[in-house]
A and B are shown apart, each in its own frame.
Chain A
Amino acid sequence: MSFKIECPFCHQEMLAEEKWIGQEAECPFCSKTMIITKDGAVSQPLVNRNSSGEKIPSYLFLAIITTILCCLPLGIVSIVYAAQVNSKQMAGDIEGARKASQLALIWACIGIALSMGSGLLWGCFSVIFDYF
């Protein structure tokens, strides 16, 4: 079975064999080296794309602080996402790992903001009610 790929450098379309997947190939048009994947050709070597070298933060510190100091169980959600970051990265799912990392940060921030916001609102209301 062959399928269509596009050179990531010169964008020329060509046919690739399925057994070439994962291998390096030289583009016959621009002579640059590309890697053939099942989704098409890419410019970076596979090792870098799946690299465990890329640092995707898990924000576990923020998650713990949110859970333990902000009086809100939202930090737990953040911890669950934090746990997915590394396993997804190990599995080569870089996009998923980045997404989990972002979600971990977002949930921790929601927890902190809600906790601070409710504290401020509560304080303001009590002061206003005491005044009248």
Chain B
Amino acid sequence: MAGMGCAGIAGGIFLYSHDPTTTQWMPVCVFHEITGMYCPGCGSGRSVYALLHGDFLQAMRMNVLLYPMLLFAGLILWKPEIGKNSKVIWSVFFILIAYWVLRNIPFFPWNYL
């Protein structure tokens, strides 16, 4: 728990000082490199960078699903039994898959996801 907190804070400090679009020290999305498609996590680095610099709108534009998912992950840490409910897990699964497919549709309004 403390380790995860530390990792989160360290990641935050690192992201604050390194713009993901220019730095060489960011994890490259292997999936994006290979296929050229976006995965459900694409844009999360840029999004957190934007949020840490107070640009809320830009943060939302980079990855809309990131913050609802982070809130949900926090909820699971707080109440682990929710994270064991198979219905909940399958919902998360289908939301992620749907998001994955939709954000790869290259025209309005899907290109905003």
A-side interface residues toward B, CB under 8 Å? 57-58, 60-61, 64-65, 67-73, 75-76, 79-80, 82-87, 114-116, 118-120, 122-123, 126-127, 130
> Total A-B residue pairs with C-beta atoms closer than 8 Å?
102
Q: What secondary structure prevails in chain A residues at the interface with B? A: helix
Q: Among residues 1 to 23 in chain B, which have CB atoms less than 8 Å away from a CB atom of chain A?
A: none
Q: How far is the CA of A91 from the CA of B73 in the complex (A)?
A: 26
Q: Is B65 in contact with A68, judged by CB distance below 8 angstroms? A: yes
A69 and B41 contact, Cβ closer than 8 Å, known pairs A58-B89, A64-B92: yes
Evaluate contact between A58 and B28: CB separation under 8 angstroms: no
**Which of chain B's residues have a CB closer than 8 A to the CB of A70?**
27, 41
Closest to B75 in A: A61
A61-B77, A68-B65, A71-B27 given as contacts; is B83 within 8 A of A79 (CB)? no
Across the interface, name the chain B residue whose C-beta is closest to A57.
B80
B66 within 8 Å of A (CB atoms): yes
> In the complex, A35 Cα to B112 Cα: how many Å?
60
